[in-house]
Amino acid sequence: MSELVFYVNGKKIVEKNPSPTTLLADVLRYKLKLTGTKVSCGEGGCGSCTVMVSWFDRSTSKILHYSVNACIVPICLLHGLAVTTVEAVGSTKTRLHELQERLVSGHGIQCGFCTPGMVMSMYALLRSNPVPTELQIEHALKGNLCRCTGYRPILDAFRSFSKDSGCPMGDRCCRNKDKKNSSDVVENCNENKNESDMGKQELIFPSELQLSDVYDQQTLEFKSDEVTWLRPVCLKDLLLLKKQHPEALLAAGGTNVAFYLRNASREKPLVIIATTHITELRSFEENEDGFLVGAMTSMTLLENKLMSLIDKHSETKTRLYHSLLDALCLFGSPQIRNRATIGGSLATASRLADVNVLLLAAGSHVKIASTDGEREVKIHDFFTGKSTTCLKPNEVITDVLLPFSTQDEYCGFYKQSPRKDLTLADVNAGLLMEFEAKNSSTVKNAFFAFGGLSSMLAVAKKSSSFVIGRKLDGSLLNELMLSLANELDQFVSGDDAKSFKVAVAQGFMFKFFLKISHQRFPKLEFLRLFKEEERYLLSSQADLQQKHSGVQVYDIITNQSETDSVGQPVPHRYAKQCATGEAVFIDDILPSQGELYLTLVTSTKASAKILKIDPSKALAMKGVVGFLDHTSIISSNKTGLYLDEEIFATEKVDFVGQTIGAVVAESHEIARKAARAVVIEYEELQPITTIEDAISHNSFHSWPGDMGAINYGNVSKAFGSCDHVIEGELKVGSQEHFYMETNSVRVVPKGEDGEMDVYCGTQYGAGLQNLVASTLNVPCNKIYVHTKRMGGSFGGKEFRSYLITLPSALAAHKFNRPVRCALERRQDMQITGYRRAYLAKFKVGFNNNGKVMALDLDMYSNDGFHPEYSAGFMGQSLFYSDNCYAIPNIYVRGHLCKTNLPPTAAMRGAGVPQGLVICEYWMTRVAEFLKRPQHKIREVNMYRGGDVTFISVPIEDSLRRCFEEVLKQSDYEHALVNIENFNRQSTFLKKGISVIPIKFSPGLPPSWYKAGAVVNVYLDGSVLLYHGGVESGQGLHTKMIQIASRVLGVSIDKIHISETCTGIIPNSATTGGSSGADLNGAAILDACNQLMARLKPIKDSNPDGKWEDWIKTAIAQKINLSASGYYNRAISEDFDWKTGKGQPYGYYTYGSAVTQVEIDCLSGNYVILKVDIVMDVGKSLNPAIDVGQIEGAFVMGTGLYALEEHLFGANGHLETSGAGKYHIPTISSIPLEMNVSLLKDCGNPQAVYSSKGIGEPPLLLSNSVFFAIENAVIAARRQAGLSPDFAFNSPATTKQIQSACGLGPQHLLKSLVT
């Protein structure tokens, strides 16, 4: 067996016969203890695990640096390479790297779980290109997801490194100063940066790897029981090995290999042959036919080579290469492109591979070799079927010929996908057309290839042949559209998205025709096109890339004491630790000796009887310690909010993902593998999975007490006197939390008296403490729940953390050893809950002036099998069914559908986002019915300051102030006129604008309006705070430190928060409802005031003394410097559901947003052009944190209303599971321009220092994106002569947008010049 040698952060690592199944992330985290590299999705789809890999390219004598996803890189691929992790970039113990400093000071960090990956993507770019452009920076970050920030502050921080950005100091740049002060140079001025400055802190590439090629020349062999890994170093040896192992997989870039390595269902050992060091496969050769590319060429290197060829040759000769750059621009992510190879792409024969479909159309050739010899195959003959090629078992791809284009040849690549980046295509196309001779319009040859239409790449042979011999004109386009529709219809038979896919393919052909006519006959007016849409339709993908920008406006208090930080934009208290990877999350805690790992065994059926549970195969595996199921229960097997769930299923399962058992083993990998080996036998029953199913089967959860309906005024009478009555319905889709850190727990038995430490990312430690104690049959005072931080939560870790905590606690009790469980992303998404899907049916009565007089509304929510918080959140939906509008008569009812889906969970907004978008939907219908401007109808109905809502909550002037201010700041009236003018002229691009006001009350159920805090002051004057809230990225700890700094009069540097612990702060409320600062801040205020009262005599006697002096005196006088604060927020009157009286909320946070969008009617793609937001946050405790919450919430809401499809199949399985199938917003999804202003001169007497809760309210503003899109669609339908009545549900996905626009061939052809 061989030795594996590579470097990590400058340290040489030697592994003797490593397991081929081991991935780089596992080695970094579990062996080298470098936990800065995070694992979030496990499939290379989120960027959290990004590291930099460096190698010495002997062909160019250059050191190359590139970013990769450590979670999918097999360790055996790294022989002779150097890996750099975030720990080597900078450290709080030594010095932060400049990019880390800028990220911290730019407020680009919230929960911090994604931050090390962001840092490493940017770091790898800077090592390769010290002064990149702004677009290059954005491009480098497209493989990194963030659920918290909304990306803007990250981009702002990093774009300061760009050569086309100004100095981050703005007008205060030293270059703008008087020459007399020219020596006063600002340290981080871009003008004073150069490559050598940036390199002072960089890790030096290992000299051994640069001076010697010994590792490049070594053949390798590594073996485990299941996998053999071989690495030859020449083509001859590769062909011999392929002959010996014809079934072997080839690992080039290795982007797919990890999925094979982790597949436990293989029937025989797997053989993998790595081709990374075969120089013959890395060759490049330019000849008269084109460019011959070695199969091992990465997509990134191919991109660079193509750009060089484009610079070298004429446009006519490199048309294919331009189209290839379009394809590569949309291919995967930078991390994937850095490793994925052109040979690997062809070998997979994927029907969705962007490069494959274009090479098929272009008529590329593939060179193939084996021990029998070499052969060259036309790519038309290379692909033979579904994921199959003509490759024989003993053959490998050696080269791919990318042909030069002829002067009369044109090609194009087109792609439609649910999201711009990190997403496989719904449909893609490679289109080619060649003409007879120069200036001829007669088609000589054509080839039209499509991906995504069927199980394999589809070639439209009939349509390709149809155009040959025809002249390029409107008549040909007309007939081709019909031909294409008929031919493609056969490929997509049985596909639910059939009409969408065919229409998109037709749109591709339309754009291609336009491109050809423009390039070949620029003076020929072929189509009537508006100049802006012509530019869009003709632009390459690179040309369509646009920079993002934004302005944040807020007041900063001046003349404030240095020891008072309240109101100041202080960076997140633990941002530096997050930027360096030092911040410790649950699975980062180093394991103790003997620590065990637990993996849940869950149901694969939505409704079934359990016939048999057989863990014997799992228990026989080496490293498996035990198996738990319902027979392992110590006390009661009942758990959940209403004790209606089972810890382990006994006789029946009611949803996919329900816990049946748990495997306990000596490693994560063993436990996960063993869990898949547990055999469960079922007798299946018929499941109910949709709202419609539940309604037809009368399957509903019951409401507690009198909840469920609000009847205000007299709806029946009001309908009789209204001028108009309309009815309709709206569906609102569900949403996954997709926090970057999956649910994780570590349970440590303390060895005596039944005590246990529970380290868990939970929002509700007290609730979890009670459940663990009950499960173990011990009192709560022996269970201590610790939460230092969470990598995001958004409600998803409020209660259902018990799913992994209770089995882990049982295992820790049984084996008396520490036990941890960290869910894999797909399992986390399947079992831990999500935002509820809704169906609304409404009836609205209104008068000619637009005033709404009556609302009758039924809302149905899909709550899964157990009603966790269902009543409370539907209650929220009912409370906000008016949004910001005074409706004199309301009758609203909620229905809680019981289905065989996993129980839903709390999620940011808690029922309000659904209720609000439903309200705005019918309000839009009123405006459209009356043909009045939507913003005018909203204004007519809007509450005024001093009004009281139908649930008795008073309205402040801030509601209308926000609305009026955002109209002014966005120049709404002018923008509306411009958009209307644009839409009259443009056929295929349409713009939309919408303004939406919101109100939201931060808060929790009345019984939870309480908080505790402890403040300790030590001999040296340092202060330690404890409070009951948890930090999940919302900046709660930072704000608490700021509050304490003001009261105590000490610098924030002296104040520390270590963790949240039930052993110190008992019986805390959950951290949620945007109430964390209100409740815990008041408790800290109380504790600090107590301390200051005790110190007052000492301060009075020594008024000129320092804090440290007073503390020493206090200790000498035996004064207690530990104070326990408490807050019990009084609600004047809770809401009485029976009478409809009472006030459920104390105050509202207000805001308004104007959103402008542009949609492509042919594909359904859209761009959010501009967003203006004005928000009332009272007097902000920290305006930078509040702005960050506004931007992050808005982008998350954009996902809810316009992107994220969370779909369950009829069998109860989550179909959109994992980062590859579930699409949260990326950098490319955010508004091109996003301006946020905090409303001035606001206050709030009900919260600490007149602040307001802010975490959830801004999410509601993003439904303005939905309505702006809908307005653009309405404009498209109006021009197409289609009915204004059409179904348009949330989310407004590209598929729905394209379908709703209804632009079929007949509408496309209206643009033809006859």
Q: What is the DSSP string of 98-158?
A: HHHHHHHHTT--SS-SSHHHHHHHHHHHHHH-SS--HHHHHHHTTT---SSS-SHHHHHHH
CA distance 199 to 1292: 46
Order the strands of the 249-251 sheet from edge to edge.
220-223, 227-231, 270-274, 249-251
Question: Does residue 138 contact residue 108 with C-beta atoms inside 8 Å?
Answer: no
**Residues with catalytic function:** 1256
Query: Which among 167, 1196, 1283, 1149 has a CA at the least distance from the CA of 736?
Result: 1196
Q: What is the dihedral of CA 562, 568, 572, 573, to 10 degrees?
A: 20
Quick check: helix, strand or coil at residue 294?
A: strand
State both tokens at 1174: 């004005």
Question: Does residue 127 contact residue 161 with C-beta atoms inside 8 Å?
Answer: no
Query: Which among 1036, 1045, 1101 has a CA at the least distance from the CA of 1253?
Result: 1036
Query: Which among 1170, 1197, 1181, 1194 has a CA at the least distance from the CA of 1292?
Result: 1197
Query: Which among 1273, 1279, 1269, 1285 has a CA at the least distance from the CA of 1306?
Result: 1279
Taking CA atoms, 1039 is separated from 149, 461, 1085, 1107, in Å, by 17, 65, 12, 21
Query: Which among 1272, 1274, 1304, 1269 has a CA at the least distance from the CA of 1286?
Result: 1274
Quick check: helix, strand or coil at residue 1207?
A: coil
- For residue 1291, whether the previous peptide bond is cis, meaning omega lies within 30 degrees of 0, is yes
Question: Does residue 58 contact residue 122 with C-beta atoms inside 8 Å?
Answer: no
Backbone angles phi, psi at 925, to 5 degrees: -65, -35
State both tokens at 187: 């340290």
CA distance 1151 to 688: 39
CA distance 1192 to 1231: 12
Taking CA atoms, 890 is separated from 156, 857, 859, 1001, 1133, in Å, by 46, 8, 13, 20, 21
Question: Does residue 6 contact residue 82 with C-beta atoms inside 8 Å?
Answer: yes
CA distance 690 to 1010: 38
Backbone angles phi, psi at 547, to 5 degrees: -80, 150
- What is the torsional sign of CA 548, 553, 559, 562? negative
E strand or H helix at 923, and its extent? helix 912-930
Residue 783 C-alpha from the chain's centroid: 34
Q: What is the DSSP string of 984-1012?
A: HH-SSEEEEEEEEEEEE-----GGG-EEE
State both tokens at 814: 């049984």
Residue 399 C-alpha from the chain's centroid: 37
560: left (phi over 0), alpha (psi -120 to 50) or beta: beta
Question: Does residue 959 contact residue 1150 with C-beta atoms inside 8 Å?
Answer: yes
First to last CA, the chain: 74
Taking CA atoms, 1112 is separated from 1041, 1098, 1116, in Å, by 22, 10, 6
